[in-house]
Structure 1
Amino acid sequence: MAPRRAAALRGGGGEQSLRAHLIVTAERLIAERGTAGLTVRAIARAAGVADGVLYNHFADKEELLAHALRARVRAVERGLGELPEPGSGTIEGNLRTYLAHGLDLHRAILPAFAGLLAQPEVLARFADLTRPDDDWRDRLIDYLRAERDLGRLAPQAPVEPAVRMMVGVCHEAILSLLLRRSEDPDAAPVPQDEIDAVVTAVLRGIGR
């Protein structure tokens, strides 16, 4: 017998499948309370279905959480706006935008990932769902390579090390912010002058 449809889906014309409803529900719970201690029962109750319904649509809890985590990342990215295109504006200004975007993205999603450190299977499933050129880091690499091809960067600009430097700055800054907020909930994010300093350092290595 097919599982009873969730109350949220009944009468809705079938616009949303139960599988999609479970992903949306889990993503909302991740946004509200993080991933630590998030159980199948909590997701099922929030979705308005029996606990076992999840297993009619996902192999296990880890698969659902991986899809929900990916949905959470995509939701955060949509709220951060568009990234600059190669050849537009100035490289210095564009790198500031990329770095600020990366910092905001990491600040929003890192708590969810931190809650899954004891569940490496979920992180592995999430990595499997990520397509090439699908995340901020890949887009930054593509952007700098395109700028190099356009001649706006040095011909032999070491793009990959520059990107690793910017990604590392995001990780270090947000981890430090999370630690400070454990003692001071009002701790401020990374100030603009620090973003400017990082961009200046990167451009010294890859600029013309």
Structure 2
Amino acid sequence: MSPRKAAALKHTDGRSLREHLIDTAVRLIAEQGTAGLTVRAIARAAGVADGVLYNHFADKEELLANALRAHVRAVEAELGELPEPGTGTVEANLREHLAYGLALHRAILPAFTGLLAQPEVLARFGELDGHGDDWRGQLRRYLRTERALGRLAAGARVDAAAAMLVGICHETVLSALLPHTGTTKAPAVRDVVEAVLDGIAK
């Protein structure tokens, strides 16, 4: 083991060097975004030689995709827990879900904006298997469970309802990214949820 690699491992707190590199990239993304983030910058911050990254990742894109996913997970953890099916009211719970989704998308927007010129990183990110544990997956499971519990109509098209709520979040992000004329005020969370429930409530 090289002295530099050994020195880096002293700061990994029991994590593998691969995990240390991902965590370092996540920290840099949180501090300065993804625009202009280089292998050299990550290596320097991690305390390793540039080439060490390629012992653990096929390329820069793989490292950044994994770091981007870890960054999203960190933001999700900061936003707290989502309501459990069968508790409270469906309307109040969906408001929480939508507010969570909007906050999530606003928080991760800078990281994704910096990668618009690197579509390969975004493609790799999309290929990572999250086992449906992201917000969208949780929202779909929430609605399916509420339907199974009888708190939504038996024939409720819950996947379509979830897509509508996710779409509101995406529209918010795209409105911030793309030039447009005039100003379009985002609909209130209450109004969106009421419109969705018009189609799936009992």
Is the TM value for this pair above 0.5?
yes
* 1:6-45 pair list within 5 angstroms: 7-10=7-10, 15-45=14-44
- Give the counterpart of 1:204 among 182, 198, 202: 198
Compared with structure 1, are the counterparts of its residues 96 and 14 closer, same or farther at alpha carbon in structure 2 (3 Å cutoff)?
closer
- What do residues 116-164 of structure 1 show as CA deviations (whole Å, max 9, x unaligned)? 2222221222222233322111111111011011110011111122111
C-alpha separation in 2, matches of 1:104 and 1:118: 24
Deviations 1:161-195 (A, max 9, x none): 21111111111123334679xxxxxxxx96xx701
CA-based RMSD: 2.2
Question: In the alignment, what sits opposite 1:124?
Answer: 123
Name the residue aligned to 1:140.
139
Equivalent residue for 1:194? 188
Structure 1 residue identity aligned to 2:137: D
Residue identity in the other structure for 2:36: G
- Establish whether residue 52 from structure 1 lines up as the match of residue 51 from structure 2: yes
Shift of 1:5: 2.0
2:8–2:48 contact (8 Å) kept in structure 1: no
* TM-score with structure 1 setting the length: 0.86
Structure 2: how far apart are the matches of 1:2 and 1:124?
A: 34
For structure 1, which segment, 13-22 or 38-47, has the greater mean C-alpha deviation from structure 2 after superposition? 13-22
Cα contact 1:6–1:47 (8 A) shared by 2? no
Gaps of 5+ in 1: 181-188
Q: 1:84-123 residue pairs with structure 2 within 5 A? A: 84-123=83-122
Per-residue deviation, 1:3: 6.8
Whole-angstrom CA distance in 2 between matches of 1:85 and 1:106? 21
Question: What's 1:5 paired with?
Answer: 5
Identity %: 70
**Matches of 2:166 and 2:12, distance apart in 1:** 44
Tell me: CA distance 1:27–1:13, structure 2 relative to 1, closer, same or farther (3 Å).
Answer: closer
Measure the CA separation in 2 of the matches of 1:197 and 1:148: 21
Distance in 1 (CA, whole Å) between partners of 2:125 and 2:12 is: 31
AA of the residue aligned to 1:5? K
